[in-house]
Chain A
Amino acid sequence: MPIEANGKVYETDEEGYLADLNDWNPDLAAAMAKADGADLDENHWEVINFLREYYEEYQIAPAVRVLTKAIGKKLGPDKGNSKYLYELFPYGPAKQACKYAGLPKPTGCV
Chain B
Amino acid sequence: MSEPWEEEGPGTVKKFMYVNRKAPYGTIYALESLEVVLIAAAFEQDVSMAFLDDGVYQLKKGQDTKGIGQKNFSPTYRALEGYDVEKLYVEAESLAERGLSEDDLLVPVEVMSREALAELMNEQEVILSF
Contacts and interface: CB of A to CB of B under 8 A. Distances in A.
Interface stretch (B13-21, B48-56, B69-77, B89-97): B69-77
Interface string B23-45: 00000000000010011011110
A58 B76 contact: yes
Interface residues of A, number: 18
Given A66-B82, A107-B35, A59 B5 contact: no
A91 to B, nearest CB: 9
B79 interface: yes
Q: Interface of chain A, helix or strand or loop or mixed?
A: helix
Interface string A54-77: 000111101101100110000000
Q: How large is the interface on B (under 10, 10 to 19, 20 to 34, 35 or more residues)?
A: 20 to 34
Given A65-B42, A82-B6, A83-B5, A59 B82 contact: no
B79 A60 contact: yes
B75 A59 contact: yes
Nearest to B38: A107
